[in-house]
Every structure is written in structure tokens, then in C-alpha cells.
Amino acid sequence: MIVRPHRHWFVRLFSWHGSVLPGILFRLGLNLLMSIIAIFCLDWYETLGVKLTLAPFSLLGVSIAIFLGFRNSVCYARFSEARQLWGSLLITCRDIQRQVLAISPADAPRIAALLMAFCYSLKHQLRRTDAREDLNRFLGDEAEDILRRRARTNAIELKISQWLADQRRSGAISDIVYAQLDNSIHQLSLVLGGCERLASVPVPFAYGLLLHRTVYLFCTLLPFALVPDLHYMTPLVSVFIAYSFLSLDTLAEELEMPFGYANNHLPMDAMCTNIEINLLEMNNQRELPEAPVPDRYYRLT
């Protein structure tokens, strides 16, 4: 995720890091090339007696803009839901740790370790990276049992639930406290299920493919409709219009799956570290990880 300080509007016009421009620069170059070809072929093009006018492009452009706006709204809703799920995860971890500290302070360090392992395991599951190092750091000898499983994050949650069941069977907690803690653990299930749903069910492929093809066909033919009226201004206008459509298309692709490392994805490394700091502080531990800060390109992963 890009985290930039507030700057003057004029300076923001030239922002490079965090923009989708680097990713579409080559495609804009192709559109510029098509515009130049359209200029040099104008005389030959007019002799064919077939002339593209701006009327169909105006109608098609409005339609594409509407559907791109709808697709971006859908993809941003997925990004927003993912952000809310991880915010809920922070609240739930704090709540569980607070209740454990109140009823069984001796077990608080182990539960904190399980909660931190849950968060890091979920991050690795969503990013499809290796969780071994983080699970060994938090779980020690228990990590091998978790690593042998396919649903590792769910297995960690099950260990927390088993601890709660042991407390109830031993009579250490009442039914009311058990129900409250069980409800908090249930919130972990909701977060896990919600993230798995977003990661495994993308926006229907055919819908995105239709928009993708239409946008590229539109941007390819546009210079030939502009050149009879604009002549040498065609590259400027064509590239600007292509930038608008290609940027929206690329941004929607980034927001659709918000769990990666792209500029507009969630900073799950930073969020996991923040949860770790909170839980360690609740256990009065003084050795805390460094608070995450953006790098020199304003990126927070």
C-alpha cells in the first residue's frame, strides 16, 4: 500500500510511485505508435473512401466508462471488505487476549503466541508464501504439527478453542465467560472465512475479459477516428484518453485481489506486526518489533 504525506495538488500531478502509470507505460507507447501511424497514413486512408467518425467512439466510450466504473466499484468493495476483515482481526485478537489475561494470566503468553501465529499464518495463506519461519518463531515444537496440515490457519484456531474447552471442563471459567470467549473465537472464523472467500472467488472472468478486450480495441482504433480532425494533435489526445481507460482497467485488476504485494494491496506485513506489538504489550513484554514504516518509495507491505 502507498502511504504518502499530504502534498500540494500540483506536486501530486507528477507522482510516479504509487501510480499505475509505470505498469501501462508500454501500452501507452503502443497507442502513441498507432497515432503516429494514423498521421502518416492519413492521405492513403482517405483515398479508401472509408472514414471512421467520432460518433460511434463517443457512444462506445460512454458505455465503456460506465462499465469500468461499475467494475472498479465492485473491486474496491472487495478491497474495502478485506481491509475491514483485517481491522476486525486486530480487534478480536485484543479482545481475546484481554479476556484471557482476566481469567487465566498464566496462559496469556501461549494464547498470545497462538493468536500471532494465526495472523501470520493467514497472511502467508493468502499470499501463498512459506509460513514455516513465522510459525516456528511463535509455536516452537507445536509448529511441525501445524505445518503438516493443509488448513494450517484453521488448525491454529482449533488449538485456541481446545484450550477454552479445557478451561471449561476444569471449572476454571463459568458458562457465561465460556460463551463470551467462544464468541470471540468465532470472530476469528468469520475473518478466516471471509478472507478465503475473497481469495478464492474472483470477479467472473468473462466479465473482466469482455471489458479488457473492448478497452484495448477502443484504444487501438481511436487514433484513426481522431486524425481527420486533429491531425498532429492526435497523439496527445489519443494517449490521454487511453491513459484514462487503461488506468481504470489496471487499477481494477489490482484491487480485485487485495492480498498481494502491489502498490494498492493491503499492507498485511505491517498489520501483522501491529497485532504482534499490541499482544506483546498486553503481556508487559518490553522487547517489541519495530513499528512498520513506509520505504523510500512510500510503500508499506
Q: Using alpha carbons, list the distances in angstroms from residue 68 to 26, 28, 243, 247.
A: 21, 18, 13, 10
Q: Residue 120 — very low, low, confident or very high, per pLDDT cuts 50/70/90?
A: very high
Q: What is the mean pLDDT of residues 100-114?
A: 92
Domain boundary assignment for the chain: 85-202+266-285
Spatial CB neighbours of 19, under 8 Å, sequence gap ≥ 6: none
| H-run or E-run covering 261 | none
pLDDT at position 46 is: 66
252, 259, 206, 220: which is closest to 23 by C-alpha? 252
Q: Residue 50 — very low, low, confident or very high, per pLDDT cuts 50/70/90?
A: low
Q: What is the mean pLDDT of residues 87-114?
A: 93
